[in-house]
Amino acid sequence: MCNVSLSTGYLPDSQKKAVVTPVLKKSDTDPNEPKNYQPISIVNFVSKLIERLAMDQMTQHLSDTGLMPKLQSAYRRHHSTETALVKVLSDIIDAADKGQVTLLGLHDRAPQLIPSITTY
């Protein structure tokens, strides 16, 4: 079923259903405020398996073709916000050791953008 779904690009309607549960983003927020919740979708095993296989194939393709940015941390195995932070901190320390001024620009609403560091 997984191979047919991936090769045809078709997912049966039975696999498109989810139970959505609202979960508080932070325990210290007001539970009466809808904006403080984040939806968690519980899908069945086969849907989750197909999702994982598709993600693995796409990630492999991006890596094989050189389309995955070298410093991309999200959606990669053995990479996380921690590894991204270590890279940024290392670049800042290297710049300081060279006597350079560092300007760090971050944008909260564009997760696809990698933070840029400019040294002078």
pLDDT digits (tens, 9 = 90+) for 23-48: 999 889 999 999 999 999 999 999 99
pLDDT of residue 61: 92
pLDDT at position 21 is 93
Is pLDDT at 112 greater than 70 in this prediction?
no
Q: Tell me how far the alpha carbon of residue 5 is from its chain's centroid.
A: 24
Residue 72 in any domain: the answer is no
In sequence order, what are the residues at sequence separation of 6 or more whose Cβ sits closer than 8 angstroms to the Cβ of residue 74? Answer: 81, 111
Does residue 76 form part of some domain? no
Q: Which of 42, 56, 45, 46 is nearest to 2 (CA)?
A: 46
Q: Are 60 and 6 members of one domain? A: yes
Can you tell me the distance from the alpha carbon of 107 to that of 105, in angstroms, rounded to the nearest whole number?
7
Structural domain includes residue 101:
yes
Give the integer Cα–Cα distance in Å for 44 and 51.
11
Q: Which domain holds residue 27?
A: 2-64
Q: Do 54 and 92 reside in the same domain of the chain? A: no
Residues whose CB is less than 8 angstroms from the CB of residue 96 and which lie 6 or more positions away in sequence, other chains included: 102
> Are residues 6 and 60 located together in one domain of the fold?
yes
91 found inside a domain: yes
Residue 55 placed within a domain = yes
Query: Both 50 and 21 in a single domain?
Result: yes
- What token pair was written down for 37? 């919740």
Q: Say yes or no: 42 and 86 in one domain.
A: no
User: 20 by DSSP, 3-state: which?
Assistant: strand
Has residue 28 been placed in a domain? yes
Residues 52-107 have pLDDT tens digits of 999 889 888 988 999 888 888 777 778 888 888 888 899 999 999 999 988 888 76
pLDDT for residue 118 is more than 70 = no
Tally of domains within the chain: 2
Q: Is the domain of 7 the same as that of 58?
A: yes
